[in-house]
Amino acid sequence: MKKLISLMGLSLISGMAFAECTVGVCSNVEVDRVYATVGNTVYVGTTGDERNLGCGAVADVYGKLDMTNPSADAVYSAILAAQMAKKKIIMKVDENVAGCPISYVVVQSD
């Protein structure tokens, strides 16, 4: 019986995906905050720790989306859709640029 319970516990743990941010990417995270400004910039905070992105996240919690970029509307739409649907995303940023500009996002299905 103890073996069965141990195996069940291990299978539950191994099936869980952990949200995290590492250098240049936040994986398996939810969109926690969207902060839109009148200055053509949208700041995106996730359930991960953006300090780990390695690019000086804005206020240590935000990646930055420059809305003057040609495909920014599509990225912004994906971010908002993921937040509204409570879907997890992968958020890739340019780790070589201060402020962690968002390169792209991937909305994950469960």
In this structure, is residue 72 part of a structural domain? yes
In this structure, is residue 8 part of a structural domain? no
Tell me which residue range forms the domain holding 83.
Answer: 18-107
User: Which range is least confidently modeled, 6-15, 22-31, 71-80, 89-98?
Assistant: 6-15
Angle at 98 between CA 86 and CA 68, to 5 degrees: 65
In this structure, is residue 78 part of a structural domain? yes
DSSP summary character for residue 47: S
Is 71's pLDDT higher than 60?
yes
Average pLDDT over residues 30-36: 97
Q: Would you list the DSSP string of 54-96?
A: SS-BBTTTBEEEETTSTTHHHHHHHHHHHHHHT-EEEEEE-TT
In this structure, is residue 4 part of a structural domain? no
Residues for the chain: how many in total?
110
Domain count, the chain: 1
Confidence of residue 10 (pLDDT cuts 50, 70, 90): very low
Is 51's pLDDT higher than 50?
yes
CATH number of the structural domain spanning residue 97: 2.40.50
Site of tokens 């539950």: 12
Is 3's pLDDT higher than 60?
no
Give percent of the chain with pLDDT exceeding 90: 81
In this structure, is residue 50 part of a structural domain? yes
DSSP summary character for residue 50: G
In this structure, is residue 42 part of a structural domain? yes
Q: pTM of the full predicted structure?
A: 0.82
Question: Within its chain, how far is the Cα of 6 from the centroid?
Answer: 32
In this structure, is residue 5 part of a structural domain? no
In this structure, is residue 6 part of a structural domain? no
